Amino acid sequence: MTSSFLPGYLDRKENLADLPKVTDVAIIGGGLLGTALAYYLSKFGIEVTLLERSDLNREASGTNAGSFHFQIALHQLTKNLTESEEKRLSDEVKLQLDAAILWDTLEKELDADLGVHFTGGFMVAETEEELKVLRDKQSIENKAGLETHVLTGDEMRSFAPYLAPDLSGIAYCPREGHANPLLVGPTYAFRAMELGAKIRTNCEVLKIEPLDNASPYRFKLKTSRGDISCNRLVNAGGAWTAELSAQLGIKHPMGLSGLHVNVTEPHEFFLKSMVQHIGRRLTLKQTPNNTFIIGGGWPSRTENYPRRYSNYWASAAGNVAVAVRVLPILKDVRLLRVWSGVWAYTKDFKPILGESEKVPGYHVAMVPTGFTLGPMVARTLAEYMHSPANKNIIPKEFSVDR
Amino acid sequence: MQEFDLVVIGGGPAGIAAATAASNHNLNVLLIDERSTLGGQIYKRVGPGFEVKDSIKLGADYLRGEILIKSLSKSNAEIMLETTVLSVEDSQVIVVTADNKYDSIKYKKLLITPGAYDRPVVFPGWTLPGVITAGAAQSLVKTQRVLPGSRIFFAGSGPLALAFPAQLSKMGANIVGIIEAAPRPGFVKIFRIARSLRGNLDLIRDAFFYQFHLVKSRIRIQYGRIIVSANGTDRLESITYARVDKNWRPISGTEKTVPADTLCIGYGFFPSVELFKILNCEMSYDESRGGTVVQLDEWGSTSLPNVFGAGDGTGVSGSYVAILNGQIAALRIAYELDKISEKTLFNLSKSIRKEVNLRKKFQKAINHAYAVKSGIYQLASSETIICRCESIPLKDLLPIIESTSDFSVVKAYSRCGMGLCQGRNCQRQVSALIAAKHGLDLGKIPGTTPRFPAKPVLLGQIADSSIRDEKYFIDEQ
Ligand SMILES: Cc1cc2nc3c(=O)[nH]c(=O)nc-3n(C[C@H](O)[C@H](O)[C@H](O)COP(=O)(O)OP(=O)(O)OC[C@H]3O[C@@H](n4cnc5c(N)ncnc54)[C@H](O)[C@@H]3O)c2cc1C
Ligand SMILES: Cc1cc2nc3c(=O)[nH]c(=O)nc-3n(C[C@H](O)[C@H](O)[C@H](O)COP(=O)(O)OP(=O)(O)OC[C@H]3O[C@@H](n4cnc5c(N)ncnc54)[C@H](O)[C@@H]3O)c2cc1C
């Protein structure tokens, strides 16, 4: 692998340079989706300008835990596994598998160290009921083509001796892993710039104005750094996607939730695989810096932008209790810091992806498990924008107007 | 859950004085400190296992501290020692207690008096064993009665540059040299300080005694010199210093190297502002009081209702001002909780305020004479470690600083400030580099977002399995 790529080489002068007056594609948002899209579009030779109101990768894409979620997790489950639910989960697993294939080769594609490691992932169960869920989901996963195993008793204890010995069972997915979320987006941006994309930071899009047919351009964007007109517009605004679309009268079935994350001091490395819980909110992994990152969906306090979501100490106390229950050795490790990020999800858990039929030229790129799936959905959208005639590149359920 | 009229965080002079005064006005008071003894920084008690036979020998500070602590113990205030405050949220103080449990305590009013810590100064060799802060040296002497080394060199600035070495030398330390970065005080400065002397004779007396002691012991103070490097392979063997220009930048060609096994660094203090920041109190910047400080009104009230501050944790002003401001805040709190009338509040606070003003005048004159200059941030070479927790040298930070003026971005890409100290040591240094690179004002560069916990805590100490995550199914969102 090439040596660690330092996003410090991003060109501040270039990022702060004047906006071009016009562009073919304008992207709003410099998170993982926006930067990846800028890269894939530039690769097709399409003219792109990306507008980010602060610095790149400072919101969800720079605050997430960097885990690849390939096996079915707690947040995807409904109470009852009906047949239609099984179909939905199976579709989601297939999407996740496609993402896995992209991650396999991403470091090579971008010629940079992104901290990608496929180290396997555990999903633990404490009760017999939870163990049953593990077995049900295993059968859906295996049918969809994802390899997972369920282990119990002595087999479980010898496979993962550091986990609490009295767990009812664990699922293991060898495909899972993680990458460094602080590197992926900025690296995409850097490579996009090499291919000619214009990246502008400290540039907030204040207003989207559709232009009439007389104009050679479809949209005019009023920004904190002047106006820019474009043929095609992509909203990759993460948690602010719905706010931006509302300006054009488009509503999205989205919700926001502040997520709590804990990080500990370093500890001698032993935990190769990520650990999740099928019945409680937990994701847990040891990083290459030997610290533990503990999260899993505990809440944090909503605040208004630009203030960062603040934390509830109770989320720390509850979240680490689940972690200590599953991995008892953690009780003697110190918590250094917590943080939070705003997570945007869709109510049906599907991406919002593609071009609006109501407002031609207007595109949206938004996906809930966005670190895992972001690069892939960005690439899919770029393929569509490269050959818009090819409508079925993007599944109908992802429709922007739904 | 317990509830108190007033919870005081920090049992130094400010906290003790406030808790005593509030309790004497019939408030139900709790004082919390993470140490095992009261007294804070200046009145630090000797550690466990030591018995004080003759407290006069331990110096005037020790005696003054003893008097303060006695008056507190005569009051009805409750005291929780070995208890660390992790955070403040929703009118509750979150603590870890001596028996390793976490707890939350409700308050009507909160007074935060967490004191200050030594200003970290980054120069080649600053992480070598044998280089310590003056405060750490003093703590060793005060609590353990141990001298840090046998050839001690002192580098610093400000009135404590006199006090520290004199105190150490009194304890029998072999001080081989003292350098002060500020110039020898000239006529104007002496005049300014002298003019502010009224009401501060005790301070001058202290200073005089220190000076006298140093002269008597033939320890020379060299003015206008700054530390340039600490040298040695596995530990400190010698130190190099140089003359400075008016911005405290070393003048090349004036370097001198002397052998030493201990280097004490004392360039002033930083207020411990973590809790104020977690609470989102309005902050401002004042280099002469230690940098980032909380904004207070004349009563010590922060921008948030019911949250007060006093002492060096709100901006470094010394122990006398800490005591007085602690008392003023206590009076205001007693008034807001209807324990004293407005008239009493004004009468009692008037004389205290008068004294504060005199003390402050003196402090201002001192701060003016010894103001820290920008050269203090420019001592590192490209190999010098800036973030000692994560071992990050200057040369790794420069390309990132080139591309951003946001400390959080530098942190994200370099891991600078992510370790055990959470940036307490490196953040200001990095901000100064950013300020210099992008032509910004150091005080205007935002730090990282303040977060729980204010101090590291074992997961086992805060894990609470009674806090449940509601089940998290997507059709219930
Ligand atoms: C704490 C947390 C943990 C997570 N853990 C994981 C995980 O382990 N695995 C996983 O797969 N996913 C995880 N996720 C989800 C994942 O991080 C997100 O889905 C993904 O990063 C979304 O990327 P994005 O580019 O859409 O959004 P963002 O990264 O939020 O980017 C949107 C950008 O748009 C900019 N913007 C918004 N409005 C404007 C405007 N008007 N003008 C200009 N710019 C604008 C914003 O400033 C922002 O930079 C987690 C999320 C959180 C919060
Ligand atoms: C290292 C050092 C040495 C000094 N030496 C001298 C000297 O020799 N002569 C002199 O005149 N002045 C000296 N000073 C200055 C003097 O100590 C201060 O002016 C004075 O102590 C300020 O009083 P305070 O009450 O504000 O803070 P402090 O005396 O520092 O008391 C603060 C207390 O708060 C506690 N605390 C902080 N955070 C938490 C938390 N989260 N949870 C629980 N408890 C907490 C601390 O344990 C401490 O006991 C020194 C200062 C320092 C930092």
**Are A260 and A336 within one domain?**
yes
- Tell me: the pLDDT tens digits for A14-52? 888 899 999 999 999 999 999 999 999 999 999 999 999
pLDDT at A288: 87
**Are A281 and A380 within one domain?**
no
Calpha distance A393→A342 (Å, rounded): 29
The dihedrals phi and psi of B459, each to the nearest 5 degrees, come to -60, -40
Assigned token pair, B232: 């040695």
Domain topology for B3-117+270-340: FAD/NAD(P)-binding domain (3.50.50)
Specify the domain boundaries for CATH 1.10.10.1100 within chain B.
Answer: 380-444
Residues of chain A with pLDDT under 70: 1-10
A235, A365 Cβ separation under 8 angstroms: yes
Question: In the structure, what pLDDT confidence band is assigned to residue B204 with cuts at 50, 70 and 90?
Answer: low
Please tell me the CATH code under which domain B120-267 is placed. Answer: 3.50.50.60
- Tell me: the pLDDT tens digits for B317-347? 888 899 999 999 999 999 999 999 999 999 9
**Are A169 and A271 within one domain?**
yes
Whether residues A76 and B474 touch (CB distance < 8 A) is answered with: yes
Does residue B472 have a pLDDT over 80? Answer: no
> Mutate which of A77, A334, A340, A346 to disrupt the B interface (most B C-beta within 10 Å)?
A334
Tally of domains in chain A? 2
Type of residue at B400: I
Q: Classify B245 in phi/psi space as left (phi over 0), alpha (psi -120 to 50) or beta.
A: beta
**Are A201 and A266 within one domain?**
no
Structural domain contains residue A293: yes
A303, A324 Cβ separation under 8 angstroms: no
pLDDT at B312: 93
pLDDT at B288: 82
Calpha distance B367→B360 (Å, rounded): 10
Q: At what angle do helices A181-194 and B407-414 cross, to 10 degrees?
A: 100
**Mean pLDDT on B355-367:** 81
Which stretch of DSSP H or E encloses residue B222?
Answer: strand B221-223
**Are A353 and A340 within one domain?**
no
CA–CA distances in Å: residue B157 to residues A376, B226, B266, B293: 58, 9, 6, 20
Contacts of A393 (CB under 8 A, 6+ apart): A380, A383, A384, A387
A74, A281 Cβ separation under 8 angstroms: yes
Tell me the average pLDDT of chain B.
88
Structural domain contains residue A73: no
**Mean pLDDT on B201-213:** 65
Q: Is the peptide bond before A216 cis (omega within 30 degrees of 0)?
A: no
pLDDT at A195: 95
B14 lines ligand 2 (CB under 6 A): yes
Calpha distance B327→A23 (Å, rounded): 64
The residue of chain A with its CA nearest to that of B398 is A8
Which stretch of DSSP H or E encloses residue B326?
Answer: helix B319-336
Rg (C-alpha) for chain B, rounded Å, is: 23
Q: By percentage, how much of chain B surpasses pLDDT 70?
A: 89
In sequence order, the β-bridge partners of residue B448 are none
Of A20, A28, A44, A23, the residue nearest A364 (C-alpha): A28
pLDDT at B141: 78
Of B331, B392, B335, B372, the residue nearest B120 (C-alpha): B372
Supply the CATH number for residue A248's domain: 3.50.50.60
Assigned token pair, B246: 């008016």
DSSP B41-89: TTTPPPPTT---S-GGGG-HHHHHHHHHHHHHHHS--EEE-S-EEEEEE
Calpha distance B473→A74 (Å, rounded): 7
**Are A331 and A275 within one domain?**
yes
- Tell me: the pLDDT tens digits for B252-262? 999 999 999 99
Of A219, A221, A237, A182, the residue nearest A37 (C-alpha): A237
- Tell me: the pLDDT tens digits for B268-320? 889 999 999 999 999 999 888 889 999 999 999 999 999 999 999 999 888 88
pLDDT at A291: 95
pLDDT at B191: 63
**Are A168 and A135 within one domain?**
yes
What's the pTM? 0.89
Q: Does residue B263 sit in helix, strand or coil?
A: strand
pLDDT at B194: 60
- Tell me: the pLDDT tens digits for B8-40? 999 999 999 999 999 999 999 999 999 999 988
Question: In the structure, what pLDDT confidence band is assigned to residue B55 with cuts at 50, 70 and 90?
Answer: low
For residue A338, the ligand closest to its alpha carbon is: 1
Calpha distance A137→A123 (Å, rounded): 11
- Tell me: the pLDDT tens digits for B220-231? 889 999 999 999
Domain hosting residue A277, numbered range: 116-176+255-346
Domain end (from A324, A346, A368)? A346
Whether residues A338 and B453 touch (CB distance < 8 A) is answered with: yes
Ligand 1 mean position to A67 CA, how many Å? 14
ipTM of the complex: 0.88
pLDDT at A189: 95
Structural domain contains residue A122: yes
Burial label for A205, CB within 10 Å (0-12, 13-18, 19+), is buried
Does residue B473 have a pLDDT over 50? Answer: no
Structural domain contains residue A282: yes
**Are A201 and A342 within one domain?**
no
Whether residues B465 and A289 touch (CB distance < 8 A) is answered with: no
**Judging by DSSP bridges, how do beta strands A292-301 and A310-311 pair with one another?**
antiparallel
Residue B164 Cα: closest atom of ligand 2? 8
**Are A361 and A236 within one domain?**
yes
pLDDT at B205: 62
Supply the CATH number for residue A302's domain: 3.30.9.10
The dihedrals phi and psi of B207, each to the nearest 5 degrees, come to -60, -40
Token pair 């689940």 is found at A322
Specify the domain boundaries for CATH 3.50.50.60 within chain B.
Answer: 3-117+270-340, 120-267
Whether residues A281 and B472 touch (CB distance < 8 A) is answered with: yes
DSSP A207-253: EEEEPPTTSSSSEEEEETTEEEEEEEEEE--GGGHHHHHHTTT----
Domain end (from A310, A331, A346)? A346
Does residue B198 have a pLDDT over 60? Answer: no
The dihedrals phi and psi of B87, each to the nearest 5 degrees, come to -170, 165
B452, A311 Cβ separation under 8 angstroms: yes
pLDDT at B346: 95
Question: In the structure, what pLDDT confidence band is assigned to residue B476 with cuts at 50, 70 and 90?
Answer: very low
Q: Which chain B residues touch A321 with a CB distance below 8 Å?
A: 463-465, 467
Calpha distance A69→A367 (Å, rounded): 13
Structural domain contains residue A331: yes
pLDDT at B189: 64
Of 3.90.1150.30, 1.10.10.10, 1.20.120.1780, 1.10.10.1100, the CATH number of B380-444 is 1.10.10.1100
**Are A342 and A364 within one domain?**
no
Q: Which chain A residues touch B105 with a CB distance below 8 Å?
A: none
- Tell me: the pLDDT tens digits for B386-414? 999 999 999 999 988 988 888 888 898 88
Assigned token pair, B110: 């909160």
**Are A153 and A125 within one domain?**
yes
**Are A130 and A19 within one domain?**
no
